[in-house]
Structure 1
Amino acid sequence: MALRGWRPKAFRVGEDPDPRFSLANERTFLAWIRTGLGLIAGAVGLEAFGGEVASPGIQTALVVGLLVGAVLLVVSAFVRWMGVEAAMRKGGSLPVPAIAALVVFIIAAAGITLLVVVMR
């Protein structure tokens, strides 16, 4: 097939780093993907069982927020994975891990919203 020799741009620059670093970068990417899947699972659980806790409007807002957050997280994880790979190949500095702030914001916003709803 045409993709046999294809490699993303991040993998075509500079020199190959030590495979251990590339594999560690990939494991980190997969950990972010698992976190995104966890957010999706939380949204599904909230949609299925959240009617007893929150009003329909708040429940919908939380579910949509978690799903949008999961999408942003997995896209950011992919961009970061490629950025780290390119930086390692060029011998440059690694990008700032802004993705962690995104996860903190998503989880804190959902947790505060649920806390306010439950405390009413």
Structure 2
Amino acid sequence: MSEQGPPRTPDPRGHSPHPRRFPSALYAVGAEPDARDSLANERTMLAWVRTSLGLLVSGIGLQAIGLPMPAELRFIAAVILIVAGIATAIRAWIGWFRSEQALRRNVPLPGSLFSVVLTVLVAAAGAVTLVGLFLG
């Protein structure tokens, strides 16, 4: 962790030297981590959000373009992708929060099995789509 700068002096107008941050419960514990680590954690969260958007758009697009396959299978594949997109967005926030807590407490970063779950969901959507294309 890098060295902390000199303590901030109170603002003469009465404003707090530490701006209010959300979620406040997270920032109330531990020490301020190196900014590079926090920014890397935020970039990781944003990458998960981009992934969730891609999954959501894929599910919507699959249903909208009407591939020549049974409608039931297309719907199932689309729902799997949309559910995966929603779960990934939620995981982005939870993962960011848990990693930021670990950084602030100077403990090892938490592990996650979500990548395995996401891989299974995407593979399932792909398999359903493939079967549907063969049947269509």
TM-score by length of 2: 0.78
User: Residue 81 of structure 2: SS of its match in structure 1?
Assistant: helix
TM-score by length of 1: 0.88
Determine if the alignment matches structure 1 residue 19 to structure 2 residue 35: yes
* Corresponding pairs, count: 116
What amino acid is aligned across from residue 43 of structure 1 in structure 2? G
**Which residue is equivalent to 1:62?**
77
What amino acid is aligned across from residue 43 of structure 2 in structure 1? R
Task: Output the CA distance in 1 between the equivalents of 2:105 and 2:130.
Answer: 46
Give the drift of 1:103.
2.0
Aligned residues with identical type, % of pairs: 35
Contact 1:47 1:59 survives alignment (8 Å): yes
Unmatched segments (≥5 aa) in structure 1: none
Query: Which string of whole-angstrom CA distances, capped at 9 and with x for unpartnered residues, describes residues 44-77 of structure 1?
Result: 210111x333211111111111111111111011
87-96 vs 6-15, which moves further: 6-15
Task: Output the CA distance in 2 between the equivalents of 1:21 and 1:71.
Answer: 26
Determine if the alignment matches structure 1 residue 114 to structure 2 residue 129: yes
Hey, which bits of structure 1, 4+ residues long, moved more than 3 A?
Answer: none
Unmatched segments (≥5 aa) in structure 2: 1-18
Determine if the alignment matches structure 1 residue 92 to structure 2 residue 107: yes
User: Residue 14 of structure 1: SS of its match in structure 2?
Assistant: coil
**Which residue is equivalent to 2:50?**
34
The structure whose residues are more often helix, as a share, is 1
The RMSD of aligned alpha carbons is 1.5
Give the drift of 1:97.
2.7
Query: Which string of whole-angstrom CA distances, capped at 9 and with x for unpartnered residues, describes residues 67-112 of structure 1?
Result: 1111111101100100000001001111113221222122111111
